Structure 1
């Protein structure tokens, strides 16, 4: 009997070790992907590793002669405000919602404190509240950097001109020969204005502000709709979701009203943000759905009257481990 129990115990511990190792490998692999995404976004945003395509223009083209209303900081929705809302609002809302939901389920059942932690392998031990919160916020952060990469890649490849491009370009039409005939200017030396403003005016398609705002709004709207199931929120959830989407739409509208983007730039940004948010919510976090915090059935109900048939058999440590884990089924998010 001891020999049989020892063999089963060794097999059980080997299986548990293998599962723990696979979980740790997947966790480290995800961290590597996240780090690579952040680095790629950094190179797009703050370095000149990727040169912007130089798109030409026609002399006196009225499409690009709109007034220049100043740098981005002077906009009605400056980048500091937009980035603060895009980063801070989802973090605050998801953290508060997950904490409230966990406390409601935590107090609804009585169980030992030693069973209120879920193990994710030998690498770490996480409370289910921390696990779910970091999962949702991690996916959201990954989506933010992904949107930034897609937008910057589109701006670098296309080099689409802003509506105020000729205002900051300040071309010398006489030297370019535009007085004799309508010409197409394709060389970068045609502009005599500030080089930073000219470079910024060549990176408008798609609109980064529109993409980030609609991504954050849609992700939060789907989170609130799929996660909050409390009574009395049947009207509150649509109002909150529509309010978030309205703010994203107003952000894109402001970009067009201030002549910083064309309508095509804003629409392309909306499409990119919507596509990435939908993909992450549906395919990665599966509409924020998971198992119940506590199983509805008691341990005696989960194990029917088969105990009488197994009186002569001793349980292995692996079977005891699985039985103790079946007592509490914490929320798993895939």
Structure 2
């Protein structure tokens, strides 16, 4: 089962790589009307000159969740380890025929693995949408530099559909054809929502009832500002940003609710059958055995729920 998951992860990464760094998938060439003011916004330079450059965005969406989830899981494990409820005989959890992992390591890798899978999935969905639609950026005609005289653009309603109409830099033109949906908006909202749901569902310490929503809303605000910056710099239309937000939120919600079950509980090979009826598969199923850390968090969630009600 674990090997199968690794194969899926490797396939997802490879597909994202082919979309991102190769010309395997040809971008659809969308036409335009002469002098269309929707595509004549100024070009403010390459992506590296943006207020939110790609290197900063990728570093945040990859590094911040890794750091936050690792620190949170470590603190939760240490708190539970020193508590009276900790069973010293169960602090090692079996995850395979020959491998044993500490519950801290198992939970951390589980949550980060699902997050990484979702990150590459968002990238694939966004790139697929950009390749299929070929939607034009607000600055498309600025970098396209069409020869209106040669194209016969005496009338503004003349529609130009052939790729040779552009005389500008071909790399800039190609980039200006890949805007729908917005990758920056999708990645930022995915990371923000995943972290917001993780903090809300996992951290149950006293005194965090206000801190958790503040932190979660802070993450969402940063994602919103990223999308707003894309529109303000004329790199995306509002429709591109909204579509990116929808994709990122949908994937994050699906993974949190259906895959990691709101960061609670255990992953059973067959949820309809009790653990005792599957003695031969207990060692093969990663997450089949309850770790003491998960038991502790479940008990804290029950206490918090009782206090609210």
Provide the C-alpha distance between the structure 1 equivalents of 2:183 and 2:237, rounded to a whole number of angstroms.
12
Provide the C-alpha distance between the structure 1 equivalents of 2:224 and 2:23, rounded to a whole number of angstroms.
31
In the alignment, which residue of structure 2 is the partner of 1:148?
123
Provide the C-alpha distance between the structure 2 equivalents of 1:291 and 1:36, rounded to a whole number of angstroms.
26
Asked if 2 retains the 8 angstrom alpha-carbon contact of 1:214 and 1:248, the reply is yes
In the alignment, which residue of structure 2 is the partner of 1:38?
13
TM-score w.r.t. length of structure 2: 0.85
- 2:45 paired with 1:70: yes
* Higher normalized helix content (fraction of residues): 1
Query: Structure 1, residues 166-214: CA drift from partner, whole Å, max 9, x if none?
Result: 0000000000000256310000000000000000000000000000000
Q: How much has 1:116 moved relative to structure 2?
A: 1.7
Mean Cα displacement is larger for which, 314-323 or 245-254?
314-323
TM-score w.r.t. length of structure 1: 0.79
Query: Structure 1, residues 109-132: CA drift from partner, whole Å, max 9, x if none?
Result: 376756421111214211000000
Q: How much has 1:332 moved relative to structure 2?
A: 25
Q: How much has 1:291 moved relative to structure 2?
A: 6.6
Asked if 2 retains the 8 angstrom alpha-carbon contact of 1:218 and 1:245, the reply is yes
Query: Structure 1, residues 100-155: CA drift from partner, whole Å, max 9, x if none?
Result: 00011111137675642111121421100000000000000000000000000000
Higher gyration radius (CA): 1
Query: Structure 1, residues 313-334: CA drift from partner, whole Å, max 9, x if none?
Result: 9999999999999999999999
Structure 2 portions without partners, runs of 5+: none
Count residues with an aligned counterpart: 309
Map 1:167-206; keep pairs closer than 5 Å: 167-179=142-154, 182-206=157-181
Provide the C-alpha distance between the structure 2 equivalents of 1:92 and 1:218, rounded to a whole number of angstroms.
16
Cα RMSD between the aligned structures?
8.7
Provide the C-alpha distance between the structure 2 equivalents of 1:320 and 1:227, rounded to a whole number of angstroms.
13
Asked if 2 retains the 8 angstrom alpha-carbon contact of 1:210 and 1:251, the reply is yes
Asked if 2 retains the 8 angstrom alpha-carbon contact of 1:206 and 1:266, the reply is yes
Provide the C-alpha distance between the structure 1 equivalents of 2:169 and 2:289, rounded to a whole number of angstroms.
82
SS at match of 2:64: helix
The structure 2 residue matched to 1:48, chosen from 19, 23, 26, is 23
Asked if 2 retains the 8 angstrom alpha-carbon contact of 1:217 and 1:244, the reply is yes
Structure-2 change in CA distance of 1:107 and 1:62 (3 Å): same
